[in-house]
Amino acid sequence: MPSFWKSSGMHLVEREKNGWLTVTPDFLRAYYTRPEIHPVEESCEAEHRLFEALMSDPFRAVADEEIAAIRDLDAADNYRVILAFRDHLARHGTIEASYAALFGEGATVSIPPVFIDQMVHLIAHNILRKVADPLRVRAGEILFREQSVTTADGQLMLADAEIVETYSKTGGLGGLGALLAEAGTPTRDVALDVLGDDNKDIYWERSDRFDTAIDFRFTEPALDAFARVLESWIGHFHGVGVRIQPQQSIRDERWSWHIGLDSEATRLLNALYEGTPVDESELGRIAALFRLDFDNRSDSIEAMRGKPVWLGLAVGNDGIMRMKPQNLLTNLPVRRRN
């Protein structure tokens, strides 16, 4: 299978029998060597000592006094954040369990958003590790990276929001482009490659650059590929089989359940369900609709047996799509097993 997303850290973890990912010492070491944590030459002795101790034993207990002894207050705060994350991971044992625990009943999310996105990145790599279709892997980026959405020539284009912002400032020329922009010198326009059947294999060698775009229109392969990603995500966490198909509209006299895959879609679907008038311009923000059916009717709660679940994905006022994959963990009408 082609390799992809080395930046996820998949090579630093191990898979358990149930397919979930074990938190390993090497995985934690990767966090300790982040720039926010790794000591510099000017760091005090206490900071160097703590860093070396954690690199030797990543799960080592750390006393409050050891952190308080660090002279750089910002560095000390960074250690508190990373160790709280470490303790959360150690408490739950796997990346998946640690992620799900953040959104369980009564949970209070206290992990920095960037760490949550990194967990989703790793989990997405896990569920897609044997996928040979680069369009499906690219669609998987929607789970953990914000997408800039544009419409032109009848297309609905999704491109990585961070990459689009960077290119808009540098013209794709990196530091040179930034200098030219500061000097007021026009930079060249940069067009991201749009993946299609004729060129999709370019994705593999560029997967960690996140610099390809997809057409997300109804009937386009990328939309169907994303539906397969959602099926895999649900199967991985809930252990149930589902069929998800893109739809152009919701036509369901027995509309009983829906899930917004982001905050904007949640707001719009709630309004439609309740019969609240919604402007056409607002409806236009819904980028994708899906119908979800359980393979086994008994896997859903009794009230939803034989009924579809409707899913929606929308675009914010700023043209950015921000998916919340945790909504499929907390809001899906799955029957609880004893």
Please give the pLDDT value at position 154.
82
Asked whether residue 175 carries a pLDDT value surpassing 80, the answer given is no
Using CA atoms of 226, 228, 234, 240 in order, give the dihedral in degrees to the nearest 10. Answer: 160
Task: Band the pLDDT of 152: cuts 50, 70, 90.
Answer: confident
Helix (H, G, I), strand (E, B) or coil at 286: strand
Please give the pLDDT value at position 171.
59
Mean pLDDT of 146-157: 91
- For residue 38 the two structure tokens come to 């790794």
Is the distance from CB of 229 to CB of 140 less than 8 angstroms?
yes
Asked whether residue 36 carries a pLDDT value surpassing 90, the answer given is yes
Task: Band the pLDDT of 106: cuts 50, 70, 90.
Answer: confident
Q: Which residue has the tokens 């995985």?
A: 27
Considering Cα of 21, then 23, then 25, then 26, what sign does the dihedral take? positive
Task: Band the pLDDT of 198: cuts 50, 70, 90.
Answer: very high
Q: Which residues does residue 212 pair with via DSSP β-bridges, in sequence order?
A: 193
- Give start and end residues of each alpha helix (H) in 133-194: 134-140, 161-170, 174-182
Asked whether residue 129 carries a pLDDT value surpassing 60, the answer given is yes
The amino acid that residue 86 corresponds to is R
Is the distance from CB of 200 to CB of 181 less than 8 angstroms?
no
- For residue 78 the two structure tokens come to 């960074």
Whether this prediction's pTM lies above 0.85 is answered by: yes
Distance CA 50, CA 57 (A): 10
Please give the pLDDT value at position 307.
96
